[in-house]
């Protein structure tokens, strides 16, 4: 079967080429955001082609240079893009070997490729990818017949190749933010305070007085911007514009809506699935409510976009995760033909989902078409990124479980309240611009005919154990008080935090050890293996009595119930606040392409999730978000990050599962479970701050 | 309002015509085209713009450019080059101590200041020295290891 991404981009020369002697051009539609995806995909290509990794030239994604692989998201690049690049390379290898066999007058089966050279019984034939490049037609589509090398034969896969994108980032200019184009102007956009707000007026004289007479002021409906030759002038201009702007219909969001449980008070659509309600019985039943607040992506660099409109063609430079989708969005918002738009990816700060990068690119494109001929650079300020980039939605959970007489979990109900988990393709600019802009794609697209309903809000809503009866009730809040979209892991990690906390409560009710309780309802041998391994890593049998101020907690999940298996253990000290002592993480992600890169991703996920768990909450207020500096939105610091051990199990076992968002949910739950063990009282609302600890101890 | 500013940048003389209120970060990036110090927050809260001024770590995004008149400024470009990396840059690459990399030039500069003052820091001392710097990708432990590795290599080379 031909992988979907290759079917969608069937020309083999979109993926691979041999234009330069001794070099191999490879192209993927996935963007590098510091997660090492380019390196891992290139390793798969090198392995399948049979060339040294160092021979590869990896195309920086641009719509004219790489296949359309949609959005880089969901920890699926290795599965989907990796499958496509391997299949494409296998097709290319087969074509070249067939051409070599015809030329040499031998059977294809006698030939193989060794570092780009065609060999027969291990002996060079004089033919190579480059001597035969002219003899094969790479513009053709795949046959679906080319055999893949077995995982074990993929020599380059499993090596920790150093990341190809990292070195430039240590020596100076490296990011889109550092791009300088001839004649470039610097723009700042005045953000519309809510989608309904109307701009009544700006004091243009005040703006000119602040920034000089050359400032170019663009006002189109509620979309207003300033453009200057010097960036410092644009900074002063936007400050003056913001101070003088008069708005109508700006919202005033109640700060109380920052709390996750308030989702239950908002209008929602309800979807139920799973087993029928349990018959009334005398089984032990337990219920609890959990909550996770709105979270910021917290990219280290505020978003940036650059665009140039010239001779009817628009070129956009972006650091987003979705080149072709962004092209479609810009075409829709600006009324352009997608074929007249080229989108080029340039490295940027980690975005961890849908942050401000897409909006900054649309801002730049919007201004570029109004000011043709000069590149327009839009740089968001820190307060723009915190206030106007989408945030990860708050979620609330009511969970109920029933235990059989032995204490085993036999019936489980997850009731989930969530805002939109993704709003990709929706932009700030389109709400502000006048005119009839075609509507953005639906936030909740209906499933294809015959397919089940799909909702990221239900990822991992059900714990991945053997439970006789399970059901979900999902309350989808289409209009939460703030714009929400995908954040690393979307609904999965918060659901794991809630469900694995609840399973810990059940173990306590059943009077059983939390690790043994989980293992007793987990038949999947690979799941058991990671859980047992994290038990060994954390020396679980030493676990002590509850309520001593020191805690050890554990968690297990399977990514979206069918991907990588992950177990996490956490040790904490709790007095007035939580101090992380150590974290352990065992993962079975199947075939690991780049072990060092995998561990880097998993450990990074552990740290980010620890930060979410202990510190982070977006504070609402005013027109939307009130927490607009790092002082308002603290994250984990160097002195707070504990030692972390990560182990990979079954690393040569195909298939390869994605790992970029595997470790967060388990980390959240293990830390919360450790804190409950330390305190002898459970906190079910994140973050686990000083105030919540004090309240839990008082209530206990 | 514009005045001439002269200082030493990464060991070489530098000068620019600057506004009275310009920050050092603006002068480095907009006037001199030196991009290692990055814009992160504009409030001195994140460390992405860190530079050394006469060996001391400063937030270039809040530091008045006028204040570096006649002084020596070091950015990450002054540490080493891809061909001749500073031991810190070599150690960061060896341990793959980075993900997105946006925070790294500030952290490398901060680590250099630490090692200049304390060639044998403990892990706790490294963490304390870098505590101002934020890293969102969660590479903290690798960064601490890389600074310790570089410190060891520099001590060995000096011995």
Residues A415-427 pLDDT 10s: 999 999 999 999 9
| Confidence bin at A655 (pLDDT 50/70/90) | confident
| pLDDT at position A580 | 98
Q: Is A447 within 8 Å of chain B by CB?
A: no
pLDDT (tens digit per residue) in A189-198: 999 999 999 9
Q: Is A181 within 8 Å of chain B by CB?
A: no
For chain A, give the mean pLDDT: 95
| pLDDT at position A447 | 84
- The answer to whether the CB of A598 falls within 8 A of the CB of A585 is no
Smallest CA–CA separation between B156 and chain A, in Å?
23
Cβ-defined contact of B130 to A606 (cutoff 8 Å): no
Option in A301, A601, A643 nearest B141 (CB): A643
| pLDDT at position B40 | 98
Cα angle A24, A25, A31 (rounded to 5 degrees) comes to 135
| pLDDT at position A450 | 86
Option in A180, A299, A608 nearest B33 (CB): A180
Q: Is A4 within 8 Å of chain B by CB?
A: no
Cβ-defined contact of B19 to A641 (cutoff 8 Å): no
The yes-or-no verdict on residue A71 having pLDDT over 90 is: no
Q: Is A182 within 8 Å of chain B by CB?
A: no
- The answer to whether the CB of A397 falls within 8 A of the CB of A498 is yes
Which helix (H) or strand (E) segment holds residue A235: the answer is helix A231-244
| pLDDT at position A415 | 98
Structure tokens belonging to residue A695: 């309240």
| pLDDT at position A591 | 87
Q: Which residue of B has its CA nearest to A381?
A: B41
Phi, psi of A693 (to 5 degrees): -65, -45
B87-158 — its CATH code?
1.10.150.120
Query: What mean pLDDT is predicted for residues A143-168?
Result: 82
Q: Is A171 within 8 Å of chain B by CB?
A: yes
- Lowest-confidence region among A451-455, A519-523, A532-536: A451-455
Structure tokens belonging to residue A98: 């067939």
Please state at what angle helix A664-679 crosses helix A492-510, rounded to 10 degrees: 40
SS3 A656: strand
Closest alpha carbon to A667 in A621, A608, A617: A608
Cβ-defined contact of A172 to B75 (cutoff 8 Å): yes
| pLDDT at position B95 | 98
Option in A178, A300, A636 nearest B48 (CB): A300
Class of domain A4-157: alpha beta
Option in B41, B89, B96 nearest A630 (CB): B41
* A-chain residues near B130 (CB < 8 A): 638
Which helix (H) or strand (E) segment holds residue A533: the answer is helix A525-537
| pLDDT at position A324 | 94
Query: What mean pLDDT is predicted for residues A55-82?
Result: 85
pLDDT (tens digit per residue) in A4-63: 999 999 999 999 999 999 999 999 888 888 888 899 999 999 999 999 999 999 988 898
Structural domain boundaries of chain B? 3-75, 87-158
Smallest CA–CA separation between B35 and chain A, in Å?
5
Structural domain boundaries of chain A? 4-157, 184-249+297-388, 395-434+457-699
* B-chain residues near A637 (CB < 8 A): 131, 134
Mention every residue, 6+ apart, whose C-beta is less than 8 A from residue A419.
Answer: A263, A393, A394, A477, A478, A480, A484
What stretches of A117-192 adopt beta strand conformation (E)? Answer: 117-120, 123-128, 185-190
| pLDDT at position A654 | 79
pLDDT (tens digit per residue) in A575-591: 999 999 999 999 999 98
| Confidence bin at A157 (pLDDT 50/70/90) | confident
Structure tokens belonging to residue A221: 């409906």
| pLDDT at position A61 | 86
Cβ-defined contact of B138 to A170 (cutoff 8 Å): no
Option in B38, B127, B142 nearest A301 (CB): B38
The yes-or-no verdict on residue A636 having pLDDT over 90 is: yes
Option in B93, B128, B142 nearest A639 (CB): B128
Handedness of CA A84, A85, A89, A92 (dihedral sign): positive
pLDDT (tens digit per residue) in A168-182: 999 999 999 999 999
| pLDDT at position A651 | 86
Q: Which residue of A has its CA nearest to B29?
A: A178
For chain B, give the longest Cα–Cα distance: 51
Q: How would you list the strands of the sheet with A24-26, edge to edge?
A: A16-17, A24-26, A56-58
Class of domain A184-249+297-388: alpha beta
Smallest CA–CA separation between B70 and chain A, in Å?
23
Q: Is A454 within 8 Å of chain B by CB?
A: no
**A62 vs A327: CA distance, rounded Å:** 11
**B39 vs A244: CA distance, rounded Å:** 26
| pLDDT at position A152 | 57
pLDDT (tens digit per residue) in A429-446: 999 999 999 999 998 888
Would the CATH topology of A4-157 be identical to that of A395-434+457-699? yes
**B48 vs B37: CA distance, rounded Å:** 7
The more confidently predicted of residues A155 and A388 is A388
The yes-or-no verdict on residue A77 having pLDDT over 90 is: no
Mutate to test the interface with A, among B51, B138, B148 (most CBs of A within 10 A): B138
* B-chain residues near A175 (CB < 8 A): 35, 38, 102
Mention every residue, 6+ apart, whose C-beta is less than 8 A from residue A177.
Answer: A301, A304, A348, A379, B35, B38, B39
Option in A166, A301, A643 nearest B39 (CB): A301
Which residue matches tokens 């960064």?
A: B143
Class of domain A395-434+457-699: alpha beta
Q: Is A488 within 8 Å of chain B by CB?
A: no
Class of domain B3-75: alpha beta
pLDDT more than 90, % of chain B? 96
Cβ-defined contact of A302 to B134 (cutoff 8 Å): no
| pLDDT at position B137 | 98
| Confidence bin at A500 (pLDDT 50/70/90) | very high
The yes-or-no verdict on residue A689 having pLDDT over 70 is: yes
Secondary structure (H, E, C), chain B: CCEEEEEEECCEEEEEEECCCCEHHHHHHHHCCCCCCCCCCCCCCCCCCEEEECCEEEECCCCEHHHHCCCEEECHHHCCCCCCCCHHHHHHHHCCCCCCCCCHHHHHHHHHHHHHHCCCCCHHHHHHHCCCCCCCCCCHHHHHHHHHHHHHHHHHHHC
Cβ-defined contact of A231 to B26 (cutoff 8 Å): yes
**B121 vs B112: CA distance, rounded Å:** 12
| pLDDT at position A471 | 98
Q: Which residue of A has its CA nearest to B18?
A: A232
Option in A36, A160, A300 nearest B134 (CB): A300
| pLDDT at position A214 | 92
* B-chain residues near A639 (CB < 8 A): 124, 127-128, 131
Q: Where are the alpha helices (DSSP H) in A572-617?
A: 595-614
Cβ-defined contact of B101 to A352 (cutoff 8 Å): no
pLDDT more than 70, % of chain B? 99
| Confidence bin at A346 (pLDDT 50/70/90) | very high
Mutate to test the interface with A, among B2, B46, B102 (most CBs of A within 10 A): B102
Q: In the A/B pair of chains, how many CB contacts fall below 8 A?
A: 173
Residues of chain B scoring pLDDT < 50: none
Q: Burial level of A195, CB count in 10 A (0-12/13-18/19+)?
A: middle
Q: How far is CA A48 from CA A127, A149, A159, in A?
A: 18, 6, 14
Mention every residue, 6+ apart, whose C-beta is less than 8 A from residue A246.
Answer: A199, A200, A201, A202
- The whole model's pTM is what? 0.96
Q: Which residue of B has its CA nearest to A606?
A: B138
| Confidence bin at A490 (pLDDT 50/70/90) | very high
* A-chain residues near B39 (CB < 8 A): 177, 301-302, 379
**A333 vs A439: CA distance, rounded Å:** 9
| pLDDT at position A658 | 85
The yes-or-no verdict on residue A155 having pLDDT over 70 is: no
The yes-or-no verdict on residue A382 having pLDDT over 80 is: yes
């Amino acid at each position: 079967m031909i992988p979907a991404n290759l079917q969608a981009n069937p020309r083999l020369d979109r993926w691979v080429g041999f234009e330069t002697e001794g070099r191999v051009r490879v192209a993927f539609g996935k963007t590098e955001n510091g997660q090492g995806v380019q390196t891992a995909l290139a390793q798969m290509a090198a392995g399948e082609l049979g060339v040294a990794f160092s021979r590869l030239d990896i195309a920086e994604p641009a719509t004219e240079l790489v296949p359309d692989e949609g959005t880089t998201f969901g920890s699926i690049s290795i599965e989907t893009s990796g499958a496509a690049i391997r299949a494409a390379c296998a097709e290319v290898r087969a074509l070249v070997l067939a051409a070599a066999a015809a030329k040499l007058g031998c059977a294809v089966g006698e030939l193989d490729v060794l570092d780009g050279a065609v060999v027969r019984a291990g002996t060079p034939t004089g033919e190579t990818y480059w001597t035969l490049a002219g003899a094969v037609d790479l513009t053709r589509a795949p046959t679906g017949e080319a055999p893949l090398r077995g995982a074990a034969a993929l020599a380059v896969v499993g090596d920790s190749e150093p990341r190809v994108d990292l070195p430039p980032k240590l020596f100076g200019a490296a990011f889109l933010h550092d791009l300088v184009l001839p004649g470039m102007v610097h723009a700042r956009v005045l953000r519309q305070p809510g989608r309904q707000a109307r701009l009544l007026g700006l004091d243009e004289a005040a703006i000119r007085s602040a920034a000089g007479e050359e400032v170019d002021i663009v006002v189109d409906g509620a979309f207003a911007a300033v453009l200057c030759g010097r960036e410092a002038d644009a900074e002063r201009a936007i400050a003056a514009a913001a101070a003088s702007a008069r708005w109508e219909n700006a919202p005033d969001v109640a700060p109380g809506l920052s709390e996750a449980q308030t989702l239950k008070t908002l209008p929602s659509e309800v979807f139920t699935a799973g087993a029928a309600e349990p018959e009334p019985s005398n089984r032990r039943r337990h219920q609890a409510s959990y909550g996770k607040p709105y979270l910021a992506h917290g990219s280290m660099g505020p978003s940036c976009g650059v665009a140039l409109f010239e001779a009817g063609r628009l070129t956009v430079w972006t650091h987003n995760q979705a080149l072709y989708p962004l092209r479609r969005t810009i075409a829709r918002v600006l009324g352009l033909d997608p074929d007249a738009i080229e989108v080029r990816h340039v490295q940027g700060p980690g975005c961890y989902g849908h942050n401000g990068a897409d909006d900054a690119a649309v801002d730049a494109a919007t201004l570029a078409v109004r000011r043709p001929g000069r590149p327009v650079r839009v740089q968001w300020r820190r307060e723009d990124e915190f206030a106007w980039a989408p945030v990860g939605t708050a979620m609330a959970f009511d969970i109920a479980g029933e235990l059989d007489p032995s204490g085993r979990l036999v019936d489980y109900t997850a009731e989930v309240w969530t805002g939109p988990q993704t709003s990709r393709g929706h932009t700030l600019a389109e709400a502000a611009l006048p005119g009839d802009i075609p509507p953005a794609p639906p936030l909740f697209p209906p499933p294809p005919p015959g397919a089940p309903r799909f909702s990221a809000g239900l990822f991992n809503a059900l714990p991945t154990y053997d439970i006789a009866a399970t059901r979900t009730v999902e309350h989808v809040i289409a209009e939460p008080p703030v714009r929400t979209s995908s954040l690393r892991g979307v609904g999965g990690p918060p659901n794991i935090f809630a469900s694995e906390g609840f399973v810990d409560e059940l173990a306590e009710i059943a009077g059983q050890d939390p690790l043994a309780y989980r293992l007793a309802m987990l038949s999947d041998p690979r799941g058991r293996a990671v859980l047992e391994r994290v038990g060994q890593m954390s020396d679980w049998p030493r676990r002590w009595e509850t309520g001593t101020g020191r805690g050890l907690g554990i968690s297990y999940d399977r990514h979206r119930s069918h991907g990588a298996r992950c177990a996490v253990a956490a040790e904490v000290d709790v007095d007035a606040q939580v101090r992380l002592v150590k974290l352990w993480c065992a993962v079975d992600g199947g075939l690991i392409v780049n072990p060092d890169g995998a561990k880097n991703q998993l450990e990074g996920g552990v740290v980010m999730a620890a930060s979410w768990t202990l510190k982070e909450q977006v504070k609402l207020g005013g027109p939307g978000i009130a927490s607009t500096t790092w002082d308002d939105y603290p994250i984990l610091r160097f002195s707070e990050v504990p030692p972390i051990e990560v182990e990979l199990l079954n690393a040569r076992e195909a298939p390869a599962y994605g790992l970029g968002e595997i470790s967060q949910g388990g980390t959240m739950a293990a830390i919360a479970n450790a804190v409950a063990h330390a305190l002898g009282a459970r906190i079910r609302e994140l973050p686990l701050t000083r105030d919540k600890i004090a309240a839990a101890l008082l209530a206990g | 309002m514009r005045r001439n500013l002269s200082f030493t940048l990464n060991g070489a003389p530098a000068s620019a015509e600057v506004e009275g209120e310009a920050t050092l970060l603006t002068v480095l990036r907009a006037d001199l085209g030196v991009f290692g110090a990055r814009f992160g927050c504009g409030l001195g809260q994140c460390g992405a713009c860190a530079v050394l001024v006469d060996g001391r770590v400063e937030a270039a995004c809040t530091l008045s450019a006028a204040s570096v008149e006649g002084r020596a400024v070091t950015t990450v470009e002054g540490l080493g080059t891809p061909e001749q990396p500073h031991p810190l840059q070599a150690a960061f690459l060896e341990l793959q101590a980075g993900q997105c990399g946006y925070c790294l030039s500030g952290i490398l500069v901060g680590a250099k200041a630490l090692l200049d003052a304390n060639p044998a820091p403990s892990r706790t001392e490294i963490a304390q020295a870098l505590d101002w710097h934020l890293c969102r990708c969660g590479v903290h432990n690798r960064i601490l290891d890389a600074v310790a590795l570089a410190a060891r290599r520099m001590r060995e080379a000096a011995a």
